[in-house]
A and B are shown apart, each in its own frame.
Chain A
Amino acid sequence: MPFEFTPERRAHLDDLLTHYPTKRAATLPALHLAQAQNGYISQDVMEHVAELLDLSPAQVQDVVTFYPMFFQEPVGKHIIRVCKTLPCMLCDCKKVLDHLRESLEVEVEGTTADGNFTLLEVECLAACDQAPVMMVDEDLYGNLTPEKIDEILGGITGKAAPAKAERRHGRG
């Protein structure tokens, strides 16, 4: 079935369109909304967004392929983003990635067999004071250790209580 926004998301998009003098400016917000609904940006999604914003599908695809946060293939239920940039490297983010690869039995850019997690290595997450860090969906977790990672993932899959990262604000 071709992609279509749910009425709530469509209303949200209509509201967003009032923020800009051109329809095209709503491309990124529209794609974020579509990805939240569909999980990834399929051909159908691009065509639908293009139609709503008076663009050609190629113009939308042009945008989708530029930004790493838009997925062009189906992904797992939860996205794990592990930061690998210098401050995290200095704090041994490789250990974090190795632990995730082993415990989830998945390679970078792969999805676990149960479809629960997709593992990604990403460039700077701008939380270098808490290095090494990862994001699971919309939540940031810092000062990671293998034990802490197990606890976080266990919480998400329902095996244990979720443990949020401590958020340190200038050490305060």
Chain B
Amino acid sequence: MAEAKERRILYENLDVPGIHTLDVYRKHGGYASLEKVFAIPPDDHITLVKDSGLRGRGGAGFSTGMKWTLMNRQIEPRYLCCNADESEPGTFSNRYILQNKPHMLIEGIIACCWALGIHTAYVYCRGEFTLAKKRLDAAILEAYAAGILGESVAGSGFALDVYTHSGAGAYICGEETGLIESLEGKRGQPRNKPPFPAVQGLFMKPTCVQNVETLSNLPFIVNNGLDWYKGMGSVYTDVPRTAGDPVNTGTKLYCVSGHVEKPGVYEVELGITAQDLIDMASGVRGGNRVKAVIPGGSSAPVLTPYELDCPLDFTSLGLAKSMLGSGGIIVMDETVCTVSALLNLMEFYAHESCGQCTPCRSGTPWVRDITKRIEAGHAKPGDIEQLIDVANQIANVDTFTWNTICVFGIAVSWPAVSFARKFRPEFEAHILNGECTVLPLEEAITPPEQNYAYPRPQVTVVQQPKWH
């Protein structure tokens, strides 16, 4: 296969000085979609986005167009919440969109609001994103002054107000209903679904919640059309429907961090393999070998070196019993103690559990404590089983069912169970030796034939990713 190359669309011109200002953004083709978008009737616009195969980039990968069709468009007012609460460890691509191309996000918000007949949009920006929020606020003011927002967007007669709203450091506010609660001025504790936000969301009105990256794709779909967008990515034919929508169109912002020579955001067509992405980031630091890769932000099940040929898209990662999630790729080299890595993640989740549901509130610190015990060498045989058991009682990774209101539960169980199963020899060595023991690479990993995620079903790619 030819060497994988970047395909910059959202990140095009990201480094042009001053691109965060209206003038420079326009000089580089910004707001071109405004001339086209209002000519597309809302129903056709929803169909366009549905047909494009665009899937939500925030984590769940749900079809965006499908989400829009579920929206109750009879009730006024309706709201858009743009999710800019980027808190998933390993994920940082939205920060650069907000800091450098805030106008691209506004352009996307306009496209979404026109399709759904929404006149008020809130951008829920995480509290720590100070520069990003300043730039976005300035961009919104510029857009109002230029008639791009306000009573008649670009002279179309369509009214739209966009406001920013700062969070205050809680990870759970990135969950769509947690975000809604937080925006309403409450603790960011997720709501029971149904009713879904599309029916009853912000201020009990129909609400669409979309991630920054998802919205940023819209202007390009409007501008360049369906065929252009569907020409990027990978499409599978022989995937059972239960594995999800076998459509993986467009590009993805992959955030590569950890032990690579050049960490950063790489925009590539969906379907690139983990190995190719590591190669793009100039390989593992110091010529070391890869020990573990978390493919989709910290909540995705970990991959071993045996799984690096897996295409990083929604379908293939789903079949590998992992997920693309937010596209945060954390690479760990052979010097890493996988038990310590899991402990770090479990401390994160124990800190961030909102405390609403007992299995999560009690179970997450419990999983953390068992991991801590194993890491310090104080554990006894059977603790690995207990770790997997407690995690599975928060959310069962094998049956994909959870005993909590939101999917935070599964975000805890996935890394916990996958680390304990896939790096079991290293966990056992900790217990056996009574101290932190980093095993040589080959010995640390459960052999693939004993790995619960194997064998991975093979799928046929109809549209082989083209690396332009």
Whose C-beta in chain A lies nearest to the C-beta of B183?
A25
| Chain B residues within an 8 Å CB radius of A89 | 340-341, 344
| Chain B residues within an 8 Å CB radius of A90 | 257-259, 330, 332, 336, 341
B164 to chain A, nearest CB (A): 9
Q: A69-B168, A131-B263 known; A126 and B91 CB under 8 Å?
A: yes
Q: A66-B187, A86-B90, A86-B341 known; A140 and B126 CB under 8 Å?
A: no
User: A93–B317 Cα gap in the complex (Å)?
Assistant: 30
**Pair B89/A169 contact, Cβ less than 8 Å:** no
| Chain A residues within an 8 Å CB radius of B36 | none
**Pair A170/B128 contact, Cβ less than 8 Å:** no
User: A171–B266 Cα gap in the complex (Å)?
Assistant: 9
**Pair A62/B265 contact, Cβ less than 8 Å:** no
Closest 10 CB pairs of A and B: A27-B185, A67-B168, A128-B257, A172-B15, A69-B169, A171-B264, A170-B265, A69-B168, A24-B185, A138-B130
Whose C-beta in chain B lies nearest to the C-beta of A135?
B128
| Chain B residues within an 8 Å CB radius of A62 | 186-187
**Pair B170/A67 contact, Cβ less than 8 Å:** yes
Whose C-beta in chain A lies nearest to the C-beta of B8?
A170
Which residues of B line the A interface, CB within 8 A? 11, 14-15, 86-92, 94-96, 99-100, 122, 126-131, 161, 163, 165-171, 182-188, 203, 255-259, 262-267, 294, 298, 328, 330, 332, 336, 340-341, 344-345, 348, 351-352, 354
| Chain B residues within an 8 Å CB radius of A32 | 127, 166, 168
**Pair B89/A170 contact, Cβ less than 8 Å:** no
User: A22–B161 Cα gap in the complex (Å)?
Assistant: 16
With A19-B165, A129-B255, A170-B265 known, 10 other A-B pairs at CB within 8 A are A21-B203, A25-B183, A32-B127, A66-B170, A85-B348, A86-B89, A86-B258, A90-B330, A90-B341, A170-B96
**Pair A170/B14 contact, Cβ less than 8 Å:** yes
**Pair A70/B263 contact, Cβ less than 8 Å:** no
| Chain A residues within an 8 Å CB radius of B161 | 19
B284 to chain A, nearest CB (A): 11
Whose C-beta in chain A lies nearest to the C-beta of B258?
A90
**Pair A85/B170 contact, Cβ less than 8 Å:** no
Interface check A87, CB cutoff 8 A: yes
Residue-wise, chain A 94-134 has the 8 Å CB interface mask toward B (1 for contact) of 00000000000000000000000000001111111111000
Q: A87-B258, A126-B129 known; A29 and B89 CB under 8 Å?
A: no
Q: List 25 A-B contacts (CB under 8 A).
A: A24-B185, A27-B186, A29-B166, A66-B187, A67-B167, A67-B188, A68-B168, A69-B127, A69-B169, A84-B344, A86-B90, A87-B90, A90-B258, A91-B258, A122-B169, A124-B88, A126-B129, A129-B255, A129-B257, A131-B258, A131-B263, A135-B128, A140-B131, A167-B99, A170-B267
| Chain A residues within an 8 Å CB radius of B95 | 126-127
Interface check A31, CB cutoff 8 A: yes
| Chain B residues within an 8 Å CB radius of A122 | 169
**Pair A86/B330 contact, Cβ less than 8 Å:** yes
Interface check A80, CB cutoff 8 A: no
| Chain B residues within an 8 Å CB radius of A159 | none
B57 to chain A, nearest CB (A): 15
Residue-wise, chain A 17-51 has the 8 Å CB interface mask toward B (1 for contact) of 00101101111110110000000000000000000
Give the one of A21, A22, A70, A131 with max B CB within 10 A: A21
**Pair B14/A169 contact, Cβ less than 8 Å:** yes
Q: A63-B185, A86-B341 known; A126 and B92 CB under 8 Å?
A: yes
